[in-house]
Structures are given as structure tokens and as C-alpha cells.
A and B are shown apart, each in its own frame.
Chain A
Amino acid sequence: MTFLRAHRTIATVIAFVLVYVIVKVLSILPLVNGEPLLNKYYIQLIVLAGINIVMTVSLGMVNGFTGQFSIGHAGFMAVGAYTSAMITTVWLHTSAANPWVAYPVFIAAILTGGLLAAAAGYLVGAPSLRLKGDYLAIVTLSANELIRTVIRVTEVLGGPRGLGGIPKLTTLEVVFVFAIVSVVLMRNYLFSSYGRSMKAVRDSEIAAESMAINTTRQKVFVFVFSAFFAGVSGGVFAHLLQFIHPDNFSFVKSLEYLIYLYVGGSTSISGAMVGPAIFTLLPELMRGLQKWRLVIYPLILILVMIFRTEGVMGLKEFNFILIPQRQRKEVSA
């Protein structure tokens, strides 16, 4: 335990791997009438939850920790989804290739998607983050709809028919690796001098600027890497569903991520993981309630906002997320 306390990155990885092992065992062991507890459908939901976690944690970097209000995160997801799908499906036809070829292409494709999304993030963020106030919300909302509409009218991308035939390369394992790497990277950044500057911008932009922090550069950088992770998530998402449609990435999708984030707790990485996990898995657990589950969904949001304004986790983090405190020597005066 002492070792884990000192090496929290390893602890984070172990926590994820444990979850993976449990899920994997439950999907193989025949527990219920000779069938495993988690069938293919549930596995797909868990994979989706993993993607949503990365989306929400990356959104939390901008909205929760830097205090900027971005409401078009699905737009960057679309850029990543379409870019990677075009590379693997239309240009390189990886569906027919063997896994040793398909996976390197897949990884290169989702990273390219992430980079293009980051570029889109720069184009959107650089002009609007210079201004203080709510301009970012309006600009990101418009950018989201702009990206969706451009895809709709672009024939090469499938236009309004959507883009199908994408090879199913996203597996449970892929998503676990992807989620671990993404969350650890963002966690690391947050627990650094740059992460502290993000929180400074959120708490008082004018004081941060007076304390020699280039707030504009910090805001733009966070926005760009957040868009990058959204783009990569989009790529992983496309290779899970195998069919993408521009309307998958509408403003409603962005709104979903905002709800996940604010219910989980926008000022906590743990919260940004709990929120999407609850909302992706809960509707299935409440299947017996049939139509009523659509009532429970918004009800949860209202109750959380009334009784826990800061989200389920508030400012708290799970232990495996935190960086260990250094023991300071006592100095006698």
C-alpha cells in the first residue's frame, strides 16, 4: 500500500485494470442459465461508457477547471470520428486487412482525427478565448452546428446518409487502454504548474493575469488539447458503432456531455468519470421501469442541482487520482 501511495499513476492503472478484469470475467463466466452475466450488449454499453468518460473528463478540463463555458464538444468528436473513419474505411479499406495491419492504421487514424480536431479547436478557441465572458459558449455552439452541417452537405463524407461500413476495431481492451492513457495524461497535466494556472484563471482571471500568467495562452492550450481528446474519442466511437451520421454529433450530444459533467462534478476528475458512468449504465439498469426511465433521467439532474450543486463528487477525488503529498520537514524557528 505504501508503494501505491507513492506511485499514484501505477495505482490509477491498477484501478482501471481491476475494473477490466472484473468486466472480462463477468462476460465469460456462465453464471445465469449457462449465459455470462454481461452479454455483448452490456459490453457495448461499458465500451460506450469508457468513451463518454474520456469525452467528459476532457470537457471538464475546459468547463470545470479553467472556468470557460464550452458547449460544442460533440463538434470536435465529429471531426475525429469522420477523419478516422475516412482513413480506415474509404481510403485504406482496413476491413479486409488482418489485425496486424488494421490496428496500426486504426491508431494512426484516430490520432490524426485527434490532431484535426485540435486544429479545429484552435480555430474556434484562439479568437474567442481572448475575450472574457460568455463568448466562448456562443462560438462553440455555432461551431458544433457548423461542423455538423458541413458534414451533412459533403458528399464524400456520406452527406445526410451517414458513413457506414466502418470496421469494428474498438473492443473492450482498446477502450480500456484508451481511457487509462487519456485520463492519466489529463490528470498529470492538472496536477502540474499549468493545471494550477488553469484553476487560477477560473477563480480570478484578473488576479491570474496580475500574477504573471499568460491567461490567453493557457486557455487556448487547454481548449486545444481538450478538443484533441474529443477527436480521438470520436475516432474510437466511430469504430464501435460502425456507422456514423452527422446527427450523432449534434448540439444535443454536446448537451449530454455537459449533463454528465455537471452531475458528476465539474471540478473533479473523479466526478467527470462518475457522471458518464452513471448515465450510460443507469438507463439499462432501470429497463424494468420502461417509459418512466425517461422521467427519472432529468429528475436525477434536478435533484443533484438542488442538493449537490457542485455535482456528486464536488471537489473530492478518488484516492487513486490524487498525487501524493510530499512530506515536508519541520523547521524550528
Chain B
Amino acid sequence: MALLEVTHLTQFFGGLRAVSDFNIQLEHGEIVGLIGPNGAGKTTVFNVLTGVYTPTKGTIVFDGQNIVGRKTHQIAQAGIARTFQTIRLFGKSSVIDNIKIAYHFRMSYSNTDAFLHTRKYWQGEQLVDDYAIDLLRLFHLEGHAEDISGSLPYGAQRRLEIARALATKPKLLILDEPAAGMNPAEADELMEMIHWLRDKFDLTILLIEHQMRVVMGVCERIKVMDFGETICEGVPEYIRNDPRVCEAYLGKGA
């Protein structure tokens, strides 16, 4: 059974149809790309999947449950984690606190334990500290653990955002333009990292990306959108040679 199954998804904003009849099936362990020119509706699809918007029409079945109408945090608890197009770290918190925050919903102590700093509190804190530092080590961020996250260099912030998403222990990771603002060398590292993430954390990955080199290099399957419609779908080689895709990006006659 597919991990994520989206059928006939349509999203209106007033009279504007941002996404129309969008269908996608993600199998466990796949890396799938979603591309298209600006305004094609890619980020809207992400926002619908994560519960920021409730779709006008259509169903989203994730891991056997219908998640339409659920709140964002409930969907995150069900196992969909995301990163943002523009980095949205908890800028005034330390690097390690960013990770701990994402682990919050798994913490077992109550509000009362928090007020009184009971034994349960100290046990919980030790547990989450061990978990967070281990995760930071995997992303080579342990040296920055106590730094304020907003003061990290750009590349490290990107890594931290992915590490933070993983701290919720998701089944599906969605990345919104992870290579934005990266130079070719950094983008190469990112591509390696995406493959490593999938294998290490047993993930399924859906990503939006504008750098074609990254999309073609990392995705096993690509879906192309334009004006809210899906215009093409297939393996990278097929997409590269499809005239409709060239037309969407470059215009007719190119």
C-alpha cells in the first residue's frame, strides 16, 4: 500500500484555482520531485498536505488514515515533517533547543512536573538531551549545540532545519526548495545528504526544487505542474525531453 495517496486534490482561493485535480502516490522509500514555474501551485500542495489549508476537494490518505481536515500539528504527529522555503528556525533558541522542541510531543512529563521539576522532569530532560545531541552529531552540528540558532551560517541553518524535521521521527519528509541559495558544491553535498537521509532514517521524501541539477540528480520520479495542473510525470530522462515541460518553463517555440 502506498504511504501517501492524494486523489483529485483541488484548492480554490476565492475564485482562483491554485491547484486542480492533483493526484500523487508515494511508495515507501521513494524520492519524488515536484517542479514547475513560479506560481504553479507547488507550495500550495505542500501547505495542503501539512494542514495549513484545508483542500476544497479531494482526499489525502497518509499511512492508511484520511488526514483531510486535521490540524497541522496532528498531521506532524501522524508522521509528515517539513522544511520551509525560507528558513524558519526558532531563531532565538539554541541549536539543541530547536531539536528538543520538535521532540516535545513525545515528552512524557506533565505541566505539573514542569512546574515542580520532579524526578520525571529530570529523567525526561536527560532523555531528550541525549536524543538531541545524537541527532546533532549526525548532522555535524554538535559543536554548535549551545549557540543561538539564528547566528549560524546559512548552510548550517539549512542542515539544522532538516535535523529538526527529523526529530519528530517522520515517515514522510517534505523539503521545500532545500537547495535554494546554495552554490554547486553545497548542492552536491545536499544531494548526497538526501540519499543518505532516506537510507539512514527509512524515509520517503517529497521535494520542491528549482535547481534542475539537484532535481534530476536526486529524484526517482518527477511531477511537473503549471497553473495548478499536472502537465507531466515520469522518470528524470522522460521529463527532460518532454516538450510540454520545455514550453512551461521557456514558453512556446523555444
Contacts and interface: CB of A to CB of B under 8 A. Distances in A.
Interface of A: 9, 185, 188-189, 192-197, 199-200, 202-204, 206-215, 221, 267, 315, 325-326, 328, 331, 333
A212 B168 CA distance: 7
Contacts of A333: 137
B89 A207 contact: yes
A213 B105 contact: yes
Looking at chain A's contact residues, is the secondary structure mostly helix, strand, loop, or mixed?
Answer: helix
B7 interface: no
Contacts of A325: 146
B91 interface: yes
B57 interface: no
Contact of B84 (A185, A199, A207): A207
A209 B97 contact: no
B52 A206 contact: yes
A210 B78 CA distance: 11
Interface in B66-97: 71-73, 76-77, 81-82, 84, 88-93, 97
Given A203-B91, A214-B73, A196 B100 contact: yes
A208 B90 CA distance: 8
Interface in B84-124: 84, 88-93, 97, 100-105, 107, 109, 111, 113-117, 121, 124
B128 to A, nearest CB: 7
B117 A188 contact: yes
A211 B160 CA distance: 13
A328 B114 contact: no
Interface in B138-170: 146, 164-165, 167-168
A196 B93 contact: yes
Given A212-B168, A213-B104, A194 B92 contact: no
Contacts of B121: 192
Contact of B89 (A9, A196, A204): A204
Given A212-B73, A326-B129, A197 B101 contact: yes
17 contacts: A189-B114, A193-B101, A193-B125, A199-B92, A199-B97, A203-B89, A209-B71, A210-B50, A211-B81, A211-B101, A211-B102, A211-B164, A212-B104, A215-B73, A267-B92, A326-B129, A331-B137
A196 B76 contact: no
B73 A200 contact: no
Nearest to B50: A210
Contacts of B107: 193
Most chain B CB within 10 A, of A199, A202, A331, is at A199
Contact of B81 (A189, A196, A210, A315): A210
